Amino acid sequence: MQLSFYLRLDLMNMKVCKFGGTSVATADQIRKVVDIVTSDAERKIVVVSAPGKRFSDDVKVTDLLIRLGEAALSGAETDPHLERVLSRFREITDELGLSTDISSEIESDLRDRLSNDKEDSSLYMDTMKAAGEDNNAKLIAAYFSLIGCDAKYINPKDGGLLVNDRPQRVRALSEGDERLAKLREESGLIVFPGFFGFTKDGTLRTFNRGGSDITGAIVAAAVGADLYENFTDVDSVFAANPTVIENPVPIKTMTYREMRELAYAGFSVFHDEALIPAFRKSIPVCIKNTNNPNAPGTLIVKERDYNEQQVIGIAADSGFTAIYVDKFLMNLEIGFGRRLLQIFEEEEISYEHTPSGIDNLSIIIRTRFLTKEKEERIVGRIHKELEPDAVIVEHDYSMIVLVGEGMQYTTGLAARAATAIAKTGANIEMINQGSSEVSLVFGVKVQDETKILKELYKEFFVKSYVKS
């Protein structure tokens, strides 16, 4: 390995690359990461997750840390849980040939976290969960150094990843961008832990789902990267769920809005929130496979040629509840919709869709937010405060979403989709299309989801590809 490998970085383009949990789950996987990074001198900043699953029945390090933190909060014995976490890191450090000092440093860090103030259980758990990414970044930086790379670990607090205070959901603050931008000027390779940041007063807070994806996008946007590479365990984003559709076509290029719609509707390759920083700074994002880095992957950009494929993908997601409210002359009752939505706001439930007619309005929500008590309270409040003719609650809905920015320029697309669904014998419970016409949503019963997805895929992808 040449020690001068990164000396020319200030003169060339720069890439930020993020590696997910499966990409850094074992010593062998970390060697692949190192080979990928060192094969391209433009890869300057590496954002890493905590070690993920090594096999299907394995447990992620983050989940082990959650168990450890919960044991500490409940006053239970923590040593068995601590040993499970340490053994995962010890296995990696030993196989990479790293000094035992690294293992000792990780153990010391974990014990320090365990001894933190437990008065605020939420913040305590954030500190425990973040230990996976933080210590893995230290470990990976040490391995880069071992093989001769000029590499350093940088903590998000020192790097400038600033997040907001509670009680709002955690998000990055633009005030930290100026400090983050200086990472571009650092010599050598930077290894940066994903998943967490710090408030102005130095309090650690973790991001929600896909936290490392979010970190990677924040850093890429702040430093003005020429490309943000998100390495995972698939060759690309596919046009449909490969566990349902056999060998679905890969998506070569898609827009931010298309990926956002697909991620929201069930595509788990990339967290929808992670696109926001890249979108705002127009940073291209490429989804690539750590285990097959030469595959082109999927490029996510601001605009694409819509003529190539009007529908870019089909997603399906279950776990929805529809609350139908019917009232004669509803359209003439000023403020009805606002008062209805206010009930959900006061119950701290966000809505997903609101299809409506002149005398009826439906609120589609995620079922997981609706306890039996909340459901009864909401229905009772609607009857009392809005005096409707009827309120009906329907569970077990799936939302099937056609996505593509080219759909707005295509005549008859909704008819094609409805005809394809009709062939399955299933009933369409709800249709919703946003004003931007990037997505077309069909609400169906969950038992019909798979057969509808297959028929829609056949209509929009098998036929079009046969023709081409």
Closest among 258, 263, 286, 287 to 273, alpha carbons compared: 263
- Confirm whether residue 20 is marked as ligand binding: yes
- Confirm whether residue 232 is marked as ligand binding: yes
Residue 314 burial (CB < 10 Å; 0-12/13-18/19+)?
buried
Closest among 85, 20, 92 to 59, alpha carbons compared: 85
Q: How many angstroms separate the CA atoms of 331 and 328, rounded?
A: 8
**CB 453: neighbour CB atoms within 10 A?**
21
Residue 377 burial (CB < 10 Å; 0-12/13-18/19+)?
middle
- Confirm whether residue 367 is marked as ligand binding: no
Closest among 170, 85, 173 to 129, alpha carbons compared: 85
Which token pair is 421? 């669904």
Closest among 317, 273, 288 to 439, alpha carbons compared: 317
Give strand pairing partners of 299: 253, 286
- Confirm whether residue 19 is marked as ligand binding: yes
- Confirm whether residue 62 is marked as ligand binding: yes
- Confirm whether residue 133 is marked as ligand binding: yes
| Cis peptide upstream of residue 167 (ω within 30 degrees of 0) | yes
| Residue 382 near residue 344 (C-beta atoms within 8 A) | no
List binding-site positions for ATP. 18-21, 232-233
List binding-site positions. 18-21, 62, 133, 232-233
List binding-site positions for substrate. 62, 133
